[in-house]
Amino acid sequence: MIVSVVSYLALCLLFAAAAPGLVERMPPALGARLMGFGLVAMAGAGVFVLSSAAFVWLAQRPRIARLGAWSPTKLRASDPIPPSVGVACVVVVCCCVAAAAVLLTRRLRSLGRVRAAVDRCGRGSRRVLVIRDSRVEAFTMPGRRGGRIVVSSGLLDALSSPERRAVFAHERSHGRHGHLWWALASDVAVAANPLLRGPGRAMSHAIERWADEDAAREVGDRRLVARTLARAALLRKHGSIVAGELVLHATASNVPERVRAMLAPQPRRNVVATVALGLMVLAAIVAAVIMQRSADGLLDTAQAVS
């Protein structure tokens, strides 16, 4: 059990160090998808591995062992877990699960407040809602058929017609691909495992780059998207119309890097980076499976001799 926990921590640190650089070498859509699965798999595997170690340690307590008809002596002999490690696993798992639950609840409540505020500004089935406000704002609310784009008159008045098309193309990408849910899943994973903060930031950047590339393909001009990003970021001096942690803004993530990326050629597939990131995701899943089978085997053996 101790070896499995240490192996997972080493894998997690490797993922945290290497994954952001690997994602930068892939097309954003592929990178964001792999990183999203990787974050969820890595966080889930971590909770599972630590939970398994904590459960085996708790099962060695006589009162708990009686509930499962296990032999605490056999369990301790088969896989002795020091009390300090067992307690640490219990505390860490409780903190991770609580942090993920709190963040998920807060984000969903935030989304509800944003949706209510948008509905107050304009009800109906229109796919695009223009809010009369001088502040610069554009975001997409999730929903059926690509969701709903909300844009301020301040932004529309400041942009040219081609730039407006680029903004709408960017926001349509967010709604079409459900980017908000990808962002939510990655944020919950990071809350459950703070070691994944670096990959979490890379995920946010990849999501926006994904929408940028989709916008460039739709309008047929990478420089137009770069110019629109830069102008929107410079115009957005004041706060948002709607305060929401879960809303994806066009200028929400590292605009200078995104502008440089749009001025460069379209990124191509990198087989080495893709395989490397995929193997790390697979390794996290395999680690959790091995831990589960190891724990089951220990408990089965302890029951057989009880």
pLDDT of 145 higher than 80? no
Check if the beta carbon of residue 207 is closer than 8 Å to that of residue 177: no
Section 54-82 average pLDDT: 70
pLDDT at residue number 115: 83
CA dist 19 and 25 (Å) reads 10
pLDDT of 169 higher than 60? yes
pLDDT at residue number 281: 83
Instruction: Classify strands 128-131 and 148-152 as parallel, antiparallel or unpaired.
Output: parallel
| List of E strands, 87-159 | 128-131, 138-141, 148-152
Instruction: Give the tokens for residue 143.
Output: 């929903």
Q: Which amino acid belongs to residue 208? A: E
pLDDT band at 295 (very low <50, low <70, confident <90, very high): low
CA dist 226 and 208 (Å) reads 12
pLDDT digit string, tens, across residues 199-222: 999 999 999 999 999 999 999 999
* Domain boundary assignment for the chain: 2-304
Check if the beta carbon of residue 35 is closer than 8 Å to that of residue 204: no
Residue 283 or 240, more confident: 283
Least confident of 1-5, 8-12, 123-127, 230-234: 123-127
CA dist 44 and 200 (Å) reads 15
pLDDT at residue number 298: 58
Instruction: Give the tokens for residue 219.
Output: 């309008």
Instruction: Classify strands 148-152 and 138-141 as parallel, antiparallel or unpaired.
Output: antiparallel
Portion of the chain with pLDDT greater than 70, in percent = 82
pLDDT averaged over every residue in the chain: 83
